[in-house]
Every structure is written in structure tokens, then in C-alpha cells.
Copies of this chain bind each other. A is one copy, B any other.
Amino acid sequence: MHRTKVRVVEDALDANNTIAAANRGDFDRASVTVVNLMSAPGAGKTTLLERALDGLAEEGLRVGVLEGDVQGSFDADRLSVLHIPVVQLNTDNGFGGECHLDANMVRSALPAVPLDEMDVLIVENVGNLVCPAEFRIGEDARIMVCSVTEGEDKPLKYPLMFRACELVVINKVDLLEHLDFDVERLEANILQVNPHATVMRVSAKTGEGIDAFRVWLQALPARAGAAA
């Protein structure tokens, strides 16, 4: 009697990483650099994009946005006035109201994303300081936004998120004069958990520091290409 040899796969790949790799392949074929943008709710991710992406196409960088939210399209509606490709992805229908985006959710949205119209795709994750950091979506770089109204201790309380990011944007610095907030202590705490992080101070409201953020974005495709 002929028996097929049974092979036991002991190192089964994590399903999320498998799908993230498939996303990565699609992004590479389209020559799109992908950013996973994360923060706590209300830190100012969308306002940062409103301010930073305006006019970037005229400077030679075509950016598109995939907006992740539990429900609604408030953020996508805000960005649509910039005349850039914006796609809304909600986690409540079919994804159980998830508190983060994973590779499969992003994959399910990709048919609606015109990758050939952009150099950089920014995926704005669900506002959450814990779970989004655990799920790769096929991105080249990860940015987190933290606001000076949130407390200097956040990198020590949510280290995984701060450790996962190449760039930490400290937002709402226009409010510093009204707060008992030690921004140097926040920066020291960020570098304690992630010594390799680039840290920027910005105010998406006033525009302070936004030029440096735009330059970082503009240099991203070349950096990602060199790392690949």
C-alpha cells in the first residue's frame, strides 16, 4: 500500500504576515512606498495630513491616503478637499469593529486604491496606542503622532507602539505655553524606548515644523528603495 509522506509544518507563518507580504508585493509592483500612520484618538493624524499633503503633488510627490476608522468617513471627507486619492476602510462591517487595521483589512481595500496614481500611500490607522503596533500591513515605514496634551509618560506606558516607529511626530506644540508639559522629558522617554527614532515637533494647527515633516515624506521613497 502506497502512503503519502505526511509533512508536519512546524513553523507555520503567521497569517497576518503572509498577507502583509502579499500586500508588499503589490506595493512593490506599483512602485508605491507605504506608511502606516498611528496614534491615540485625537492626537491629530488627520489634521497633520491636511496640513502636510496640501500642494505636495505640485512639488513632485503624489500621495494617496487609506483611511481606517471603526465607522464613518469623517476623516476621508476632510482629506477629499485636497484632491488626492482617498479611500475609506471601516472596521465595523465584516471586521467586528476592530480597534486596529491588519494586513487582511488593508488587502480587502486595495482594489479600491489607485496605486498607479501615487508614489506614497499613507494608511491612517484606527486611533489606538496598543494594537495597531502588533499588525504589519506590508508597510515600508511607520509613523506615530503623539500630542503634548497626552502626558510625558506615554512612551513608557505604551512602549511597543513607540518602539515600532521610525518617526515620532510630537503634535500640538502650539499648546505648550498653556500646559505643564515637559517636552524634553517626552523626547527623552521616546529615545529611551526607541533610540533609533527620528523625533519632530510640529503644530498641525499653526504649521510649525510641517516643512520638516514634508521633507521627511519626500525623501521616503528613496530611503525605502535603498533599504529594499
Report which A residues bind B (CB closer than 8 A).
Answer: 40-42, 69-72, 74, 97-99, 126-131, 134, 147, 149-151, 153-154, 156-160, 172, 175, 178-180, 205
A37 to chain B, nearest CB (A): 16
- Cβ of B41 and Cβ of A71 under 8 Å apart? no
Partner among B69, B147, B160 whose Cβ is within 8 Å of the Cβ of A42:
B147
Chain B residues in 8 Å Cβ range of A178 = 175, 178
A128 and B98 CA atoms in complex are apart in Å by: 12
Partner among B71, B127, B160 whose Cβ is within 8 Å of the Cβ of A40:
B127
- Cβ of B130 and Cβ of A99 under 8 Å apart? yes
A12 to chain B, nearest CB (A): 19
Which of A42, A156, A160 counts the most chain B CB atoms within 10 A? A42
Number of copies: 2
- Cβ of B175 and Cβ of A149 under 8 Å apart? yes
Partner among B127, B130, B157 whose Cβ is within 8 Å of the Cβ of A72:
B157
A159 and B97 CA atoms in complex are apart in Å by: 11
Chain B residues in 8 Å Cβ range of A99 = 99, 128, 130-131
- Cβ of A128 and Cβ of B126 under 8 Å apart? no
A158 and B90 CA atoms in complex are apart in Å by: 12
Q: Which residue of B lies closest to A153 (CB)?
A: B74
Chain B residues in 8 Å Cβ range of A172 = 149
Q: A71-B157, A129-B127 are in contact. Are A149 and B97 (CB under 8 A)?
A: no
A98 and B98 CA atoms in complex are apart in Å by: 13
- Cβ of A42 and Cβ of B72 under 8 Å apart? no
Chain B residues in 8 Å Cβ range of A69 = 157
Chain B residues in 8 Å Cβ range of A150 = 41-42
A150 and B43 CA atoms in complex are apart in Å by: 7
A70 and B159 CA atoms in complex are apart in Å by: 9
Chain B residues in 8 Å Cβ range of A72 = 153, 156-157
Q: A175-B175, A175-B178 are in contact. Are A154 and B42 (CB under 8 A)?
A: yes
A180 and B172 CA atoms in complex are apart in Å by: 12
Q: Which 7 A-B pairs have the closest CB atoms?
A: A42-B150, A99-B130, A149-B149, A40-B41, A41-B129, A178-B178, A42-B151
A160 to chain B, nearest CB (A): 7
